[in-house]
Structure 1
Amino acid sequence: MGESPYQDLVDAGGLEAVLRAACPGCDIDLLDARGAFGGLVATVSKGDRAVKVLPLVRERLFRVRHLLRGTHLSRPATTDLTEVTGSAAAWLGGATARELAAAWPFADFADIADAYESGDRIELAWQFRRAYDRHDLGEFVEAAMREPRLRRMYPFTSMYWMSFRPTADEYRVPGPWVRSARDGRFTVVAKDRREEPDVTYDAAEAVRVCVAEMDRLGVPSPGEVGRPPVRIVPTDPR
């Protein structure tokens, strides 16, 4: 690279020129992007595949997204323009996710791609949470994935808190909620996220507390959603 992550872009004539040289025969769309180097974000595509490249000035890096049939499968970042162009050329050339990861390790999304191809939305959500930790919940996610009850549920985040839905389409969430307390510790609350409990837990403990709170709150397991209520018919006392 040159003096900065973007010097090679300047030398090569800009983001579009670099991508056209790396991915001949592909379509390239350029859109205005606030905060991007050169003010542009580029999407280079071929068939049902695409790669989106956003060079960020403040962070001095490139954010890259590898797409399949319109779905973002990756969210890596790199300061190396060669990784950007090389992974784009490989992906648009038809490489599998595992082949891409072997050649360009920064773009390893093989487990995400497997979940996407399987059509399992819950597993896909878990793999995204595992690969791209935005809220310092990584240790908790790893522990939660080893808990069978939680692994069958749909993980999601809201305002730095994580919770679980019985299914991907079930939106009634009574709790519990988990948030990072930093340094590998986690806070668990039942319903009210405005609470600030003094007690924190390590990842394994937080998982156990979550499961206990689900039992206490009556959170249904995935197999129980949609079941009709059980009717208790009184017996004839005679």
Structure 2
Amino acid sequence: MNNFRWEKYKSFFQITIFKYLVMWFSLVPIVANIIQNLPDKYEVTLGTQTYLISLTLPFNWQLLWISSVFFVIALVVYHIFCPNFISKYNSFKDYESYSHDPRWVAWEASMLWPKMTDEQKKKFISRLQVKEYSSEIDEKGSFIISKKPIVNKLQTIFYFQHYGKKYKLGMPVLDSKNKEIEGSEKGVFFEVFGRYSESNYLARLIILILLIISGMIFGFVLCQHLYSGAQFVWNWVTGVST
């Protein structure tokens, strides 16, 4: 499932060729209703020659429609459960395009915190401490319990606690001379991004299963299409050779 995190799904659903499955899902019921009373073959006369035109498709369109149904359901699940953070900022480049103040990541972290599982919180704290972006607060130090970050002169600070231990994340991250540590904004961004990216495991699994089913059906229909095309070419080649 690490290969099917939310940002991977976003990239996948943006592939142009797969958008045709959504179009097929929409058009097939309309077209099927129009052509259901038409004959399978139709005679066309041009001059003295009469041609028999087949109106049937070289593949099973019903199966292709079923494939598109699974794809559309997967797309709907994605739009319902994909975190807004991932939809909005699918990369740090996307985040930079909004020209946020470095302090903004503290607000993003505060919105993420209540949504995380205990394991994600442990991982989040551990990563921030290893990178020295966050620190544990001494029991004797001041601690403000607030769901929102506190805006100070130099930093916007998000205070949080986990299993009785207290921590703070101040943005921008400053060194001993109160200078912003280069790359710290990007580093904190990706810790927030990573926790969102691995969230909603069940929804990501459901999407994966739906896409696998859709892909298997689509693959079968594609083989049908290729076989029909190859058969037509073979008949044409053998007809020319004789």
TM-score for the superposition, normalised by structure 1: 0.24
More helix by share: 2
Of structures 1 and 2, the one with the larger relative CO (CA 8 A, separation 6+) is 2
- Indicate the structure (1 or 2) with the bigger Cα radius of gyration: 2
Higher strand share: 1
